[in-house]
């Protein structure tokens, strides 16, 4: 008896469908300690996130899962909404608006394209989203992780989970994967425009780009994430016409005793507050939508740290979320990555049964 997943009632010769799998990191189902513990256990057990040998990491993780969930649950409670997690709400809205744009902007080119949202950790999971696409007759798959700056800790983890699930399928779809878009002109313009709008409303200040951190040893092992973050910040600064002294880069959310990418955001802020940058604008271009790290860590906790340390004013620029600019740049990214597939041109897929009839008719003459 086969262990591969198939569709025994599949109609051969059908047009098939292009699936777009939009993937974000994930979020607990609720802001209470048990739910956070389940989420952290899945996240921190990922070999892409923590590369230590399992025998060494397992006892450490057990200690973390006894201590950290309560603290993290309190942080989630600060930003949780009546509708749920901000990351989930913004991600769902982004996926829905992206589907609508693909359906209506160019009907011929977008025909047969279906967007599904998945989370690397938690739900909806990647296997669940892929199962929905399989049931809809997907024959081509574009995977779009919502991480502008590639890292093995995030983007590659999506690839691992997608390919692991596809190994269980009998009939594999054609597969393409977006590695990142840290220097896409539309992405850079959207970030620059969001900063410019903030300055129009609140006044221009020193600009701090705060990216999620990662262990420094990953950079030394060849992960390009740090370089991509610096490239994004530099090019956004150029679009805004800023001098090199007008902006800075830092890295947040470090965990544990190992050295992470520097400088750390929570160390930079008190220095700025006590020095020449007492008025500050903070933007987090590495996050596609607002989440725990932007809303609780940057907008609430680090803002309080900065003002307590002597800072005068502190503004956070929201993530792109489901803004029209974000939806448009992702739709354009999708259209360019599906070039050569029927959905990119509006050409009718080949009807294999009709082709077979034609070949038989030719052979009989």
Model pLDDT, residue 318:
98
Helical spans, DSSP H, in the chain? 33-44, 54-79, 86-104, 107-110, 126-135, 155-166, 185-202, 216-220, 225-239, 265-274, 292, 303-308, 324-337, 342-345, 352-364
Model pLDDT, residue 344:
84
Domains of the chain, with CATH numbers?
17-181+323-345 (3.40.50.1400), 185-317 (3.40.50.1400)
Phi-psi sector, 16: left (phi>0), alpha (psi -120 to 50), beta: left
Taking residues 105-119, report their average pLDDT. Answer: 74
Model pLDDT, residue 354:
40
In tens, the pLDDT along 320-364 reads 999 999 999 999 999 999 999 988 875 344 443 444 443 344 444
In tens, the pLDDT along 307-323 reads 999 999 999 999 999 99
In tens, the pLDDT along 216-254 reads 999 999 999 999 999 999 999 999 999 999 999 999 999
Residue 63, pLDDT > 70, answer yes
Model pLDDT, residue 2:
63
Model pLDDT, residue 125:
98
> What does the alpha-carbon distance between residue 303 and residue 284 come to, in Å, rounded to a whole number?
14
Confidence of residue 3 (pLDDT cuts 50, 70, 90): confident
Model pLDDT, residue 363:
42
In tens, the pLDDT along 181-226 reads 999 999 999 999 999 999 999 999 999 999 999 999 999 999 999 9
Taking residues 86-110, report their average pLDDT. Answer: 85
């Amino acid at each position: 008896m086969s262990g591969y997943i198939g569709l025994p009632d599949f109609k051969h010769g059908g047009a098939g469908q292009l699936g777009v799998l939009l993937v974000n990191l994930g979020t607990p189902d609720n802001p209470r300690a048990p739910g956070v513990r389940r989420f952290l256990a899945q996240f921190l057990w990922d070999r892409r996130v923590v590369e230590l040998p399992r025998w060494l990491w397992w006892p450490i993780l057990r200690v973390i899962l006894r201590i950290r969930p309560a603290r993290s649950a309190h942080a989630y409670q600060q930003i949780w909404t009546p509708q749920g997690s901000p990351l989930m709400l913004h991600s769902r809205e982004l996926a829905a608006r992206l589907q609508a744009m693909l359906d209506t902007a160019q009907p011929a080119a977008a025909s047969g394209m279906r967007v599904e949202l998945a989370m690397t950790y938690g739900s909806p999971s990647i296997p669940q989203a892929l199962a929905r696409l399989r049931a809809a007759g997907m024959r081509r798959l574009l995977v779009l992780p919502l991480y502008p700056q590639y890292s093995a800790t995030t983007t590659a983890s999506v690839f691992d989970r997608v390919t692991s699930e596809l190994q269980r399928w009998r009939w594999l779809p054609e597969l393409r994967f977006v590695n990142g878009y840290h220097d896409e002109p539309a992405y850079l313009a959207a970030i620059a425009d969001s900063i410019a709008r903030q300055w129009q409303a609140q006044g221009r200040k020193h600009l701090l780009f705060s990216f999620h951190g990662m262990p420094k040893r990953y950079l030394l092992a060849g992960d390009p994430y740090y370089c991509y973050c610096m490239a994004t910040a530099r090019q956004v600064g150029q679009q805004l016409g800023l001098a090199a002294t007008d902006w800075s880069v830092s890295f947040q959310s470090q965990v544990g005793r190992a050295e992470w990418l520097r400088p750390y955001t929570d160390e930079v802020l008190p220095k700025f507050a006590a020095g020449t940058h007492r008025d500050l604008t903070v933007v987090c271009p590495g996050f596609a939508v607002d989440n725990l790290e932007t809303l609780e860590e940057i907008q609430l906790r680090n803002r309080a740290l900065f003002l307590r340390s002597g800072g005068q004013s502190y503004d956070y620029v929201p993530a792109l979320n489901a803004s029209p600019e974000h939806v448009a740049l992702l739709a354009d990214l999708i259209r360019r990555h599906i070039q050569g597939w029927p959905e990119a041109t509006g050409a009718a897929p080949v009807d294999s049964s009709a082709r077979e009839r034609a070949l038989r008719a030719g052979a009989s003459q």
